[in-house]
Amino acid sequence: MTIHIMPLNDLREHDESTTCWCLPRVEWHEEALVIHNSADGRELTKPIGRRV
Ligand SMILES: [Zn+2]
């Protein structure tokens, strides 16, 4: 199971993949967390957790 955390309404659509254009950081807990970076460098104030 992989959970993607990505910014809401970002300037660019993110791919739910570790090879997304934003070069997401992957952290391993009980599940893999893929933490995406926003296109405009804003903080992840309202991340979406999505299970794929
Ligand atoms: Zn991304």
CA distances from 4 to 11, 44 (A): 17, 12
CA distances 12 to 6, 31, 40, 41, 52, Å, are 11, 26, 9, 12, 20
C-alpha atoms less than 13 angstroms from C-alpha of 46 in its C-beta half-sphere: 3
Q: Which residues surround ligand 1, an ion (CB under 5 A)?
A: 14, 20, 22, 36
CA of 13 to the centre of ligand 1 (A): 7
In tens, the pLDDT along 11-44 reads 889 999 999 999 999 999 999 999 999 887 765 5
Position 14 scores a pLDDT of 92
Dist CA 52 CA 41 (whole Å): 25
pTM for this predicted structure: 0.73
Q: Range of 4's domain?
A: 1-52
> What's the number of domains the chain is made of?
1
Q: Report the separation in Å between the CA atom of 47 and the middle of ligand 1, taken as the mean of its atom positions.
A: 12
